[in-house]
Structure 1
Amino acid sequence: MQLFVSIAVVVAAAALGSIFTARSVRGWYTGLKKPPFTPPGPVFGPVWTFLYLCMAVSVYLVWQEGLQTAGVLTAFILFWVQLAFNVSWSAVFFGMKSSRGGLAVIAILWLLILATILASFRVAVWAGVLLIPYIFWVSLAAYLNTGIWYLNRKNSPPVT
């Protein structure tokens, strides 16, 4: 049951984030100047699918250790907080069309992912390992977000 819940909630978060993304990717995002090394559009879907699967299995492995066990609750809570920031980044960057606001959110997201990885490693090594590709991809996303903000900064609305 814990595996089902882990997958269901992560998939729901992914779906919510994709609502914001889908609306902008075909319009606003295509008109932006992008930095070097921006992956082609078709790469994003499969990569995020893989990452969300890894995330769901990671939180499941943490949960399996029992929330009453030392450190488990911390890793468990950090996971869900970073997932909320993951969705928030899509809402701010794509939904609000704010690369500047996206920078603030992705910086916090990156730190939360790092904290989640470290906490997860202490609970179940594989739970931490499964999140390593995620932090690498979010590092790339942070670079892209920064580049998009810099290259298009006159078009970026103020953070409200």
Structure 2
Amino acid sequence: MREVAVVLASGAPEGRVFNHQGQFKPRYSRRQELLAGAGFLLLCLGVGLSGVGVSALGVHGWYLSLRRPPLCPPLSLYPPVWTLLYLMAGAAAWEIWRAPGFRLLNRQALIAWGWQIGLKALWTPVFFGLHWLSGAAIFGLVLLAVLGETIRRFAGLKRWAAVLMLPYAAWVAFEVYLDIGFWWLNR
């Protein structure tokens, strides 16, 4: 069977494929979509879990000895908040992966998403492993900038995916405030 991709006037493929009878054929099978969604969610949760060991070692001694900035939340708040934020970030990436449109733009948006998730994975060892408070603040600022770019790219492809990333960006901005506060109070 012959399949034809629909092309918009701009020349960018819409992402929809029709068979020779003019019937719409999804770009990915349902199984592929579910596997991709599970992959994005597991990647995000894996990043969160990878930091648990490092942070657990640093929390009970070093972290508890630090002077805390105002508004510093209790440690018990972090696991549920980050779990929810990682699930939302994974769902947002999945939405972009599934989004119809010019595949290069989707790919670029997902590369930006990958950079921010990678920076987040590195932040925990910098803060809790190396006890490098100023470095954690710098990592946080860079993460926030990359996260802003990710949201901008997501918004151009699928607004709902960008909305899913906003609480994550707000929490990272709050954590940058905490990082700077920890550094300032404990220098």
Tell me the TM-score normalized by structure 1: 0.91
> Which has the larger Rg?
2
More helix by share: 1
Describe the SS at the equivalent of 1:130. Answer: helix
More strand by share: 2
Pairing 1:83–2:117 present: yes
**Tell me, which stretches of 5 or more residues in structure 1 are unaligned?**
154-160
Q: CA deviation at 1:19?
A: 2.1
Deviation beyond 4 Å, 4+ runs, structure 1:
none
| Greater relative contact order (CA < 8 Å, ≥ 6 in sequence) | 1
1:67–1:73 contact (8 Å) kept in structure 2: no
Pairing 1:69–2:103 present: yes
Q: CA deviation at 1:69?
A: 2.1
Describe the SS at the equivalent of 1:30. Answer: helix
Q: Which amino acid aligns with 2:116?
A: Q
Q: CA deviation at 1:70?
A: 4.3
Q: Which amino acid aligns with 1:92?
A: V
Partner of 1:114: 148
Q: CA deviation at 1:108?
A: 0.6
Residues in 1 aligned to 2:85 and 2:101: alpha-carbon distance in whole angstroms? 24
* Corresponding residue to 1:145 among 149, 173, 179: 179
The superposition leaves residues 15-56 of structure 1 with CA deviations (integer Å, 9 ceiling, x where unpaired) of 112222111111111100011111111111111111011011
| CA RMSD, 1 decimal | 1.3
**Residue identity (%):** 30
**Tell me, which stretches of 5 or more residues in structure 2 are unaligned?**
1-34
Q: Which amino acid aligns with 2:115?
A: V
Partner of 1:98: 132
Q: Which amino acid aligns with 1:2?
A: A
80-89 vs 5-14, greater mean Cα deviation: 5-14
Pairing 1:54–2:88 present: yes
* Corresponding residue to 1:134 among 153, 164, 168: 168
Q: Which amino acid aligns with 1:139?
A: A
Q: What is the total number of aligned residue pairs between the two structures?
A: 153
